[in-house]
Amino acid sequence: MHFLDQAKIYIRSGAGGPGAVSFRREKYVEYGGPDGGNGGRGGDVVFEAVAGLNTLIDFRYTQHFKAQRGVQGMGKNRNGAAGQDMVIKVPVGTQILDEDRETVLADLTEAGQRITLLHGGLGGRGNASYKTSTNRAPRQHQPGLPFEELWVWLRLKLLADVGLVGLPNAGKSTFINQITNTKAKVGDYAFTTLRPQLGVVRHKNREFVLADIPGLIAGAAEGAGVGDRFLGHIERCRVLIHLIDANGVDPVEALEVVEEELAAYGGGLEDKPRLVALNKIDLIDTELVRAFSKELRAAGVAKVFPISGASGKGIDALLDAVLEYLPAATVTERPAGEREDDDDTPWSPL
Protein backbone atom coordinates (compact mmCIF):
# COMPACT_ATOMS: atom_id res chain seq x y z
CA MET A 1 0.00 0.00 0.00
CA HIS A 2 1.35 3.42 -0.94
CA PHE A 3 1.68 6.03 1.79
CA LEU A 4 -0.02 9.37 1.21
CA ASP A 5 -0.30 11.95 3.96
CA GLN A 6 -1.80 14.90 2.06
CA ALA A 7 -4.79 15.13 -0.25
CA LYS A 8 -7.08 17.84 -1.60
CA ILE A 9 -10.77 17.00 -2.00
CA TYR A 10 -14.03 18.71 -2.90
CA ILE A 11 -17.00 18.28 -0.58
CA ARG A 12 -20.60 19.36 -1.05
CA SER A 13 -23.65 18.95 1.16
CA GLY A 14 -27.10 18.20 -0.19
CA ALA A 15 -29.55 20.94 -1.13
CA GLY A 16 -32.94 20.99 0.49
CA GLY A 17 -35.85 19.66 -1.55
CA PRO A 18 -38.48 22.17 -2.75
CA GLY A 19 -41.92 22.26 -1.26
CA ALA A 20 -44.87 21.22 -3.41
CA VAL A 21 -47.85 23.23 -4.65
CA SER A 22 -50.81 20.88 -4.81
CA PHE A 23 -54.56 20.89 -4.18
CA ARG A 24 -56.71 17.99 -3.15
CA ARG A 25 -59.22 17.15 -5.85
CA GLU A 26 -61.24 14.04 -5.21
CA LYS A 27 -64.74 13.08 -6.11
CA TYR A 28 -67.24 13.56 -3.33
CA VAL A 29 -64.70 15.59 -1.31
CA GLU A 30 -65.82 19.15 -0.92
CA TYR A 31 -63.35 21.93 -0.25
CA GLY A 32 -60.28 19.76 -0.71
CA GLY A 33 -57.85 22.61 -0.16
CA PRO A 34 -54.02 22.70 -0.44
CA ASP A 35 -52.10 19.52 0.28
CA GLY A 36 -48.56 20.21 -0.92
CA GLY A 37 -45.94 18.61 1.35
CA ASN A 38 -42.61 20.00 2.53
CA GLY A 39 -39.30 19.17 0.89
CA GLY A 40 -36.73 16.94 2.57
CA ARG A 41 -33.55 18.15 4.22
CA GLY A 42 -30.28 17.75 2.35
CA GLY A 43 -27.58 15.41 3.62
CA ASP A 44 -24.60 16.57 5.68
CA VAL A 45 -20.91 15.98 4.99
CA VAL A 46 -19.48 14.11 7.97
CA PHE A 47 -15.86 13.10 8.62
CA GLU A 48 -15.24 10.06 10.81
CA ALA A 49 -11.92 8.83 12.17
CA VAL A 50 -11.64 5.06 11.96
CA ALA A 51 -9.01 2.66 13.22
CA GLY A 52 -7.10 0.49 10.76
CA LEU A 53 -6.29 3.24 8.24
CA ASN A 54 -2.84 4.80 8.08
CA THR A 55 -2.79 6.49 4.69
CA LEU A 56 -4.86 8.86 2.55
CA ILE A 57 -4.19 6.94 -0.65
CA ASP A 58 -7.92 6.41 -1.30
CA PHE A 59 -8.34 10.14 -1.83
CA ARG A 60 -5.90 10.11 -4.73
CA TYR A 61 -8.44 8.30 -6.88
CA THR A 62 -11.63 9.90 -5.52
CA GLN A 63 -11.58 13.64 -4.93
CA HIS A 64 -15.27 14.63 -5.10
CA PHE A 65 -17.73 13.80 -2.32
CA LYS A 66 -21.35 14.94 -2.54
CA ALA A 67 -24.16 14.31 -0.08
CA GLN A 68 -27.61 13.44 -1.38
CA ARG A 69 -30.10 16.26 -1.89
CA GLY A 70 -33.51 16.25 -0.22
CA VAL A 71 -36.49 14.90 -2.11
CA GLN A 72 -39.15 17.40 -3.16
CA GLY A 73 -42.51 17.49 -1.42
CA MET A 74 -45.54 15.92 -3.07
CA GLY A 75 -49.29 16.12 -3.03
CA LYS A 76 -51.51 14.47 -0.42
CA ASN A 77 -49.39 16.16 2.26
CA ARG A 78 -46.43 13.89 1.54
CA ASN A 79 -43.14 15.31 2.75
CA GLY A 80 -39.97 14.56 0.82
CA ALA A 81 -37.36 12.21 2.25
CA ALA A 82 -34.18 13.64 3.73
CA GLY A 83 -30.98 13.14 1.76
CA GLN A 84 -28.39 10.66 3.01
CA ASP A 85 -25.32 12.04 4.73
CA MET A 86 -21.95 11.68 3.05
CA VAL A 87 -19.71 10.01 5.66
CA ILE A 88 -16.02 10.28 4.75
CA LYS A 89 -13.79 7.88 6.68
CA VAL A 90 -10.26 9.05 7.40
CA PRO A 91 -7.35 7.70 9.48
CA VAL A 92 -7.00 8.68 13.11
CA GLY A 93 -4.76 11.74 13.30
CA THR A 94 -6.16 13.46 10.21
CA GLN A 95 -6.40 17.22 10.15
CA ILE A 96 -8.86 19.01 7.88
CA LEU A 97 -7.47 22.30 6.58
CA ASP A 98 -9.06 25.10 4.61
CA GLU A 99 -7.96 25.68 1.04
CA ASP A 100 -5.25 28.04 2.27
CA ARG A 101 -3.63 25.00 4.01
CA GLU A 102 -3.21 27.03 7.20
CA THR A 103 -6.62 27.24 8.87
CA VAL A 104 -7.40 24.02 10.77
CA LEU A 105 -11.11 23.21 10.48
CA ALA A 106 -11.02 19.93 12.41
CA ASP A 107 -8.53 17.59 14.06
CA LEU A 108 -9.60 13.96 14.43
CA THR A 109 -7.41 12.35 17.06
CA GLU A 110 -9.56 9.50 18.39
CA ALA A 111 -11.12 6.49 16.73
CA GLY A 112 -14.86 6.97 16.31
CA GLN A 113 -14.66 10.76 16.47
CA ARG A 114 -17.07 12.41 14.03
CA ILE A 115 -17.51 16.00 12.90
CA THR A 116 -20.11 17.54 10.60
CA LEU A 117 -18.22 19.95 8.38
CA LEU A 118 -21.00 20.98 5.98
CA HIS A 119 -24.70 20.99 6.77
CA GLY A 120 -27.38 20.13 4.26
CA GLY A 121 -29.92 22.72 3.19
CA LEU A 122 -33.32 22.78 4.87
CA GLY A 123 -36.27 21.58 2.84
CA GLY A 124 -38.74 24.13 1.49
CA ARG A 125 -42.29 24.50 2.77
CA GLY A 126 -45.19 23.23 0.72
CA ASN A 127 -48.30 25.27 0.12
CA ALA A 128 -50.25 23.30 2.73
CA SER A 129 -48.15 24.93 5.46
CA TYR A 130 -49.22 28.41 4.28
CA LYS A 131 -52.92 27.75 4.72
CA THR A 132 -54.65 30.11 7.15
CA SER A 133 -58.18 31.15 7.92
CA THR A 134 -57.86 34.03 5.49
CA ASN A 135 -55.66 32.33 2.92
CA ARG A 136 -57.56 29.17 2.03
CA ALA A 137 -55.83 28.43 -1.29
CA PRO A 138 -52.16 29.49 -1.03
CA ARG A 139 -49.93 28.92 -4.01
CA GLN A 140 -46.64 30.02 -2.53
CA HIS A 141 -43.94 27.55 -1.58
CA GLN A 142 -40.24 27.53 -0.74
CA PRO A 143 -37.58 26.10 -3.06
CA GLY A 144 -35.39 24.74 -0.26
CA LEU A 145 -32.04 26.09 0.91
CA PRO A 146 -29.00 25.55 -1.34
CA PHE A 147 -26.06 23.25 -0.63
CA GLU A 148 -22.71 24.20 0.88
CA GLU A 149 -19.46 23.39 -0.91
CA LEU A 150 -15.80 23.58 -0.04
CA TRP A 151 -12.34 22.49 -1.15
CA VAL A 152 -10.34 21.18 1.79
CA TRP A 153 -6.93 19.67 2.40
CA LEU A 154 -6.53 16.51 4.41
CA ARG A 155 -3.26 16.15 6.27
CA LEU A 156 -2.39 13.01 8.18
CA LYS A 157 -0.28 13.22 11.30
CA LEU A 158 0.45 9.73 12.51
CA LEU A 159 -0.23 9.10 16.17
CA ALA A 160 2.86 7.65 17.85
CA ASP A 161 4.25 7.68 21.36
CA VAL A 162 7.90 7.87 20.32
CA GLY A 163 9.52 9.50 17.30
CA LEU A 164 12.78 8.45 15.66
CA VAL A 165 14.95 11.15 14.09
CA GLY A 166 18.46 11.44 12.74
CA LEU A 167 20.58 12.03 9.67
CA PRO A 168 20.27 9.71 6.66
CA ASN A 169 22.06 6.40 7.22
CA ALA A 170 21.96 6.80 11.00
CA GLY A 171 20.52 3.29 11.20
CA LYS A 172 16.91 4.20 11.97
CA SER A 173 15.38 1.53 9.71
CA THR A 174 17.64 -1.17 11.15
CA PHE A 175 16.74 -0.02 14.65
CA ILE A 176 12.98 -0.13 14.09
CA ASN A 177 13.28 -3.55 12.42
CA GLN A 178 15.17 -4.81 15.46
CA ILE A 179 12.58 -3.83 18.06
CA THR A 180 9.33 -4.17 16.07
CA ASN A 181 7.82 -6.41 13.39
CA THR A 182 8.19 -3.65 10.81
CA LYS A 183 9.96 -4.61 7.59
CA ALA A 184 11.47 -1.26 6.73
CA LYS A 185 13.78 -1.13 3.73
CA VAL A 186 17.47 -1.01 4.68
CA GLY A 187 20.14 0.19 2.27
CA ASP A 188 23.66 1.60 2.35
CA TYR A 189 22.71 4.88 0.71
CA ALA A 190 21.11 8.14 1.76
CA PHE A 191 17.31 8.46 1.96
CA THR A 192 16.56 4.76 1.90
CA THR A 193 13.46 5.66 3.91
CA LEU A 194 11.18 7.83 1.79
CA ARG A 195 8.01 7.62 3.86
CA PRO A 196 7.24 7.30 7.58
CA GLN A 197 7.17 3.87 9.18
CA LEU A 198 5.12 2.82 12.19
CA GLY A 199 5.92 -0.08 14.49
CA VAL A 200 4.64 -1.39 17.81
CA VAL A 201 7.32 -1.99 20.44
CA ARG A 202 6.71 -4.52 23.20
CA HIS A 203 9.07 -4.14 26.13
CA LYS A 204 8.61 -5.38 29.70
CA ASN A 205 4.90 -6.04 29.25
CA ARG A 206 4.42 -2.53 27.91
CA GLU A 207 3.50 -1.46 24.39
CA PHE A 208 4.08 1.80 22.57
CA VAL A 209 4.05 3.00 18.97
CA LEU A 210 7.30 4.11 17.36
CA ALA A 211 7.39 6.34 14.26
CA ASP A 212 10.41 6.50 11.95
CA ILE A 213 10.59 9.41 9.50
CA PRO A 214 12.99 10.00 6.59
CA GLY A 215 16.39 11.38 7.50
CA LEU A 216 17.01 15.09 7.94
CA ILE A 217 19.90 17.02 6.45
CA ALA A 218 21.05 20.63 6.76
CA GLY A 219 18.53 22.87 5.04
CA ALA A 220 15.62 20.45 5.37
CA ALA A 221 13.42 23.30 6.62
CA GLU A 222 14.00 25.01 3.25
CA GLY A 223 13.26 21.83 1.30
CA ALA A 224 16.67 20.19 1.06
CA GLY A 225 16.61 16.40 0.74
CA VAL A 226 13.05 15.26 1.38
CA GLY A 227 12.49 18.48 3.33
CA ASP A 228 10.64 18.76 6.61
CA ARG A 229 7.28 17.57 5.28
CA PHE A 230 7.21 14.44 7.43
CA LEU A 231 8.13 16.16 10.70
CA GLY A 232 4.43 16.66 11.33
CA HIS A 233 4.15 12.94 12.03
CA ILE A 234 6.16 13.30 15.23
CA GLU A 235 4.51 16.48 16.54
CA ARG A 236 2.34 14.44 18.89
CA CYS A 237 5.06 12.13 20.20
CA ARG A 238 5.86 12.19 23.90
CA VAL A 239 9.59 11.69 23.43
CA LEU A 240 12.07 11.65 20.55
CA ILE A 241 14.95 9.22 20.02
CA HIS A 242 17.82 10.85 18.18
CA LEU A 243 20.04 8.24 16.52
CA ILE A 244 23.58 9.29 15.68
CA ASP A 245 25.86 7.26 13.44
CA ALA A 246 29.05 6.50 15.37
CA ASN A 247 30.81 5.24 12.25
CA GLY A 248 30.29 7.95 9.70
CA VAL A 249 30.11 11.56 10.83
CA ASP A 250 31.16 13.82 13.66
CA PRO A 251 28.59 13.01 16.39
CA VAL A 252 28.40 16.57 17.69
CA GLU A 253 27.92 17.97 14.19
CA ALA A 254 25.21 15.40 13.49
CA LEU A 255 23.49 16.36 16.73
CA GLU A 256 23.54 20.07 15.90
CA VAL A 257 22.24 19.61 12.33
CA VAL A 258 19.15 17.73 13.41
CA GLU A 259 18.49 19.99 16.39
CA GLU A 260 18.66 23.08 14.16
CA GLU A 261 16.15 21.59 11.71
CA LEU A 262 13.75 20.64 14.50
CA ALA A 263 13.93 24.18 15.87
CA ALA A 264 13.42 25.67 12.40
CA TYR A 265 10.32 23.55 11.86
CA GLY A 266 8.70 24.59 15.13
CA GLY A 267 5.49 22.86 16.15
CA GLY A 268 6.88 22.30 19.65
CA LEU A 269 9.47 19.76 18.48
CA GLU A 270 12.35 21.73 19.97
CA ASP A 271 10.76 21.40 23.42
CA LYS A 272 10.14 17.66 23.38
CA PRO A 273 12.38 15.47 25.55
CA ARG A 274 15.22 13.73 23.71
CA LEU A 275 17.03 10.45 24.16
CA VAL A 276 20.32 10.52 22.27
CA ALA A 277 21.57 7.12 21.12
CA LEU A 278 25.01 6.54 19.62
CA ASN A 279 24.30 3.83 17.06
CA LYS A 280 26.52 1.28 15.25
CA ILE A 281 28.90 0.82 18.17
CA ASP A 282 29.60 -2.69 16.87
CA LEU A 283 31.66 -1.10 14.07
CA ILE A 284 34.05 0.91 16.27
CA ASP A 285 36.18 0.13 19.33
CA THR A 286 35.19 0.80 22.92
CA GLU A 287 37.58 3.69 23.41
CA LEU A 288 36.08 5.57 20.48
CA VAL A 289 32.58 5.00 21.87
CA ARG A 290 33.67 6.56 25.15
CA ALA A 291 35.29 9.49 23.39
CA PHE A 292 32.19 10.20 21.28
CA SER A 293 29.94 9.91 24.34
CA LYS A 294 32.13 12.38 26.20
CA GLU A 295 31.93 14.85 23.28
CA LEU A 296 28.13 14.61 23.18
CA ARG A 297 27.85 15.19 26.92
CA ALA A 298 30.08 18.22 26.56
CA ALA A 299 27.69 19.48 23.87
CA GLY A 300 24.80 19.40 26.33
CA VAL A 301 23.45 15.85 26.15
CA ALA A 302 22.51 14.67 29.63
CA LYS A 303 22.96 10.96 28.89
CA VAL A 304 24.20 9.04 25.86
CA PHE A 305 22.95 5.53 25.10
CA PRO A 306 25.51 3.49 23.12
CA ILE A 307 23.57 0.94 21.06
CA SER A 308 23.82 -1.32 18.04
CA GLY A 309 20.66 -1.56 15.96
CA ALA A 310 22.05 -4.54 14.09
CA SER A 311 23.03 -6.70 17.08
CA GLY A 312 20.59 -5.32 19.66
CA LYS A 313 23.33 -4.35 22.11
CA GLY A 314 22.31 -1.58 24.53
CA ILE A 315 18.75 -1.34 23.21
CA ASP A 316 17.12 -2.60 26.43
CA ALA A 317 18.60 0.30 28.42
CA LEU A 318 17.32 2.75 25.82
CA LEU A 319 13.81 1.27 25.88
CA ASP A 320 13.83 1.38 29.69
CA ALA A 321 14.46 5.11 29.45
CA VAL A 322 11.62 5.50 26.93
CA LEU A 323 9.13 3.90 29.31
CA GLU A 324 9.82 6.63 31.88
CA TYR A 325 8.27 9.21 29.53
CA LEU A 326 5.14 7.21 28.80
CA PRO A 327 1.99 7.08 30.92
CA ALA A 328 1.19 3.97 32.91
CA ALA A 329 0.12 1.36 30.40
CA THR A 330 -1.88 -1.79 30.78
CA VAL A 331 -0.01 -5.05 31.00
CA THR A 332 0.02 -6.95 27.75
CA GLU A 333 -2.80 -9.47 27.85
CA ARG A 334 -1.87 -13.13 27.94
CA PRO A 335 -3.26 -15.52 25.37
CA ALA A 336 -6.27 -17.49 26.51
CA GLY A 337 -5.24 -20.46 28.66
CA GLU A 338 -1.69 -19.22 29.32
CA ARG A 339 -0.59 -19.00 32.97
CA GLU A 340 2.13 -16.94 34.57
CA ASP A 341 4.96 -18.74 36.38
CA ASP A 342 3.87 -17.41 39.77
CA ASP A 343 0.26 -18.38 39.27
CA ASP A 344 -0.52 -20.84 42.11
CA THR A 345 -4.04 -21.63 40.96
CA PRO A 346 -4.38 -25.38 40.41
CA TRP A 347 -4.86 -26.34 36.80
CA SER A 348 -8.38 -27.26 35.79
CA PRO A 349 -9.83 -28.14 32.40
CA LEU A 350 -12.92 -26.01 33.17
Q: What is the pLDDT of residues 78-102, one digit of tens each?
A: 999 999 999 999 999 999 999 998 8
Spatial strand order of the sheet with 114-118 comes to: 86-91, 45-50, 114-118
Q: Domain-by-domain residue ranges, the chain?
A: 1-156, 162-323
Q: CATH fold of 162-323, please?
A: Rossmann fold (3.40.50)
Cβ pair 188, 47 in contact under 8 A: no
* pLDDT band at residue 214 under the 50/70/90 scheme: confident
pLDDT of residue 82: 97
- What's residue 350's pLDDT? 36
**Right CATH for 1-156 from 3.40.190.10, 3.40.50.720, 2.60.410.10, 2.70.210.12:** 2.70.210.12
* Minimum mean pLDDT range among 30-34, 38-42, 116-120: 30-34
List the beta bridge partners of residue 94. Answer: 108, 156
- What is the model's pTM? 0.75
pLDDT tens digits for range 2-16: 678 899 999 999 999
